[in-house]
Amino acid sequence: KAGVTQTPRYLIKTRGQQVTLSCSPISGHRSVSWYQQTPGQGLQFLFEYFSETQRNKGNFPGRFSGRQFSNSRSEMNVSTLELGDSALYLCASSLEASFDEQFFGPGTRLTVL
Partner 1 sequence: GENVEQHPSTLSVQEGDSAVIKCTYSDSASNYFPWYKQELGKRPQLIIDIRSNVGEKKDQRIAVTLNKTAKHFSLHITETQPEDSAVYFCAAVNTGTASKLTFGTGTRLQVTL
Of 17, 20, 45, 95, the one binding partner 1 by CB under 8 A: 45
Residues touching partner 1, count (CB under 8 A): 22
**13 interacts with partner 1 by CB under 8 A:** no
> How distant is the alpha carbon of residue 34 from its chain centre?
3
CB of 75 to partner 1, least distance (A): 19
CB of 51 to partner 1, least distance (A): 12
Q: What are the DSSP calls for the chain, one per residue?
A: ----EEE-SEEEE-TT--EEEEEEPPTT--EEEEEEEETTTEEEEEEEEETTEEEEE-S--TTEEEEE-TTS-EEEEE-S--GGG-EEEEEEEESSSTTSPPEE---EEEEE-
Binding mask 93-112 for partner 1 (x = CB under 8 A): ----xxx-xx-xxxx-----
Binding mask 52-91 for partner 1 (x = CB under 8 A): ---xx-x-------------------------------x-
d(C-alpha 1, C-alpha 9), whole Å? 21
Which positions touch partner 1 (CB under 8 A)? 33, 35, 40-43, 45, 48, 55-56, 58, 90, 92, 97-99, 101-102, 104-107
